[in-house]
Structure 1
């Protein structure tokens, strides 16, 4: 056991020499040295992992216990470098804790391969470290997605549509899920169908920037929603049309049917839209 602790201390000292000396780095070193003390009294791998999540990541005991069922490690070496990497790239302690809670496997990733590639991509687009930390801690699924197959194609798709890299970045900061939309199965065919339905590109752009979830739906379902909105009498050239599409996309089938019964009773179009949009807020 003492040899394991000595080995880990050697890694910590090496990391201190490699990193700049600042309070935050020392904070993480102290936290991980504290975690080592629990290793002496809890040799069981499962107990060590639980203690680590509690002491170093701020997990409640119940969350630490449940997480340790599918994320296990015997030493703090790899988790230390992951947490230190995140801290040195602008993550607050709260953001780090939130990220690990939402996506525990990140604690065992290679920071030079997974988080770093995403950081470099966003930074190359002019996104600040603060905003990158906000994106990744709020939408950790981004870390799991391929740069070549998902992140870069999604960014390029929205950039070609919005025709401004700066506005594309603004749209992504407003809605991180833009990067997770299934382009081939959802976004591309749905945008094309809206064009066929005579929805102006300006209205499509509004939906893409502010209501991207409307496009993250299979083509068949999306077509049914658009056709239903047409039947309700909305004009495809008006903004109300895309708002109604978004509203119908956001509600369950039972809620949809209940609201359609109300609509078919003869209310005016303005009241119809308000009633539809109310579904998004659970009205």
Structure 2
């Protein structure tokens, strides 16, 4: 049985998995259905959204307009985006981190954070993650916020945890490489490694 209680061993696990990890950049450019918000007057709402990005995050007008167009970002009041910004700030996101996050996933400003984001944060908190751990995970790979909690995040986490035999080590690995949460091939490869090395279930005694 391998002992993965070091950064070298975490890198070893990632080495086994990295061939199956796809780049997240292209995914982040595609609008997620979880965060779409359509208004009755698209032109006005898009213009308002672009103005909000410019004045609240300091984006260049051309960049703000491109974000709104690419991600179909539309809203005609500040109520929803302000509630989203407040939600993330309450978890410890700084202004610069929020700016980077919205630049990658502006559609978050139209989401329902207590319905789509909070359950994912609560899951990691229940495993021993701190608020700073969550901030790190989101900043490194915000795409996981669009993933299904039950069908993807929990299943991937539990497989990694079964392999590492520790929530602490699993969280450390995810902090080291948050991309592991979002690729279905990673789960397949972890399953293969578990079968190859006959890794016991977490509650089983390791002889």
Q: Tell whether the structures are fold-level matches, with TM greater than 0.5.
A: yes
Q: Unaligned 5+ residue runs, structure 2?
A: 1-42, 200-207
CA positional deviation for 1:145: 0.4
Matches within 5 A, 1:1-12: none
**Counterpart residue number, 2:52:** 52
Deviation per residue, 1:86-139 (Å, 9 max, x gap): 111111111111111111111100011122112111111111111211211221
Q: Work out the CA distance in 2 between the residues paired with 1:85 and 1:130.
A: 14
**Counterpart residue number, 1:6:** none
Structure label with greater radius of gyration? 1
Query: In 2, are the aligned partners of 1:67 and 1:104 still within 8 Å (CA)?
Result: yes
Q: Work out the CA distance in 1 between the residues paired with 2:162 and 2:130.
A: 22
**CA 1:156/1:52 → structure 2, altered by over 3 Å: closer, same or farther?**
same
Q: Work out the CA distance in 1 between the residues paired with 2:129 and 2:74.
A: 33
1:179 aligns with 2:176: no
Q: Work out the CA distance in 2 between the residues paired with 1:192 and 1:137.
A: 29
1:114 aligns with 2:120: no
Q: Work out the CA distance in 2 between the residues paired with 1:147 and 1:107.
A: 20
Q: CA RMSD in A?
A: 2.3
Per chain length, whose mean CA-contact separation is higher, i.e. which structure has more relative contact order (CA < 8 Å, sep 6+)? 2
Q: Work out the CA distance in 2 between the residues paired with 1:52 and 1:149.
A: 34
**CA 1:149/1:109 → structure 2, altered by over 3 Å: closer, same or farther?**
same
1:88 aligns with 2:90: yes
Query: In 2, are the aligned partners of 1:139 and 1:176 still within 8 Å (CA)?
Result: yes
1:68 aligns with 2:68: yes
Partner SS for 1:68: helix
1:152 aligns with 2:154: yes
Query: In 2, are the aligned partners of 1:154 and 1:183 still within 8 Å (CA)?
Result: no
Q: Work out the CA distance in 2 between the residues paired with 1:81 and 1:145.
A: 21
Partner SS for 1:75: coil
More helix by share: 1
**Counterpart residue number, 1:126:** 128
CA positional deviation for 1:192: 6.4
Deviation per residue, 1:171-221 (Å, 9 max, x gap): 11101012123158732464368x3xxxx689xxxxxxxxxxxxxxxxxxx
Pairs aligned (count): 155
Query: In 1, are the aligned partners of 2:160 and 2:170 still within 8 Å (CA)?
Result: yes
**CA 1:192/1:115 → structure 2, altered by over 3 Å: closer, same or farther?**
closer
CA positional deviation for 1:156: 0.4
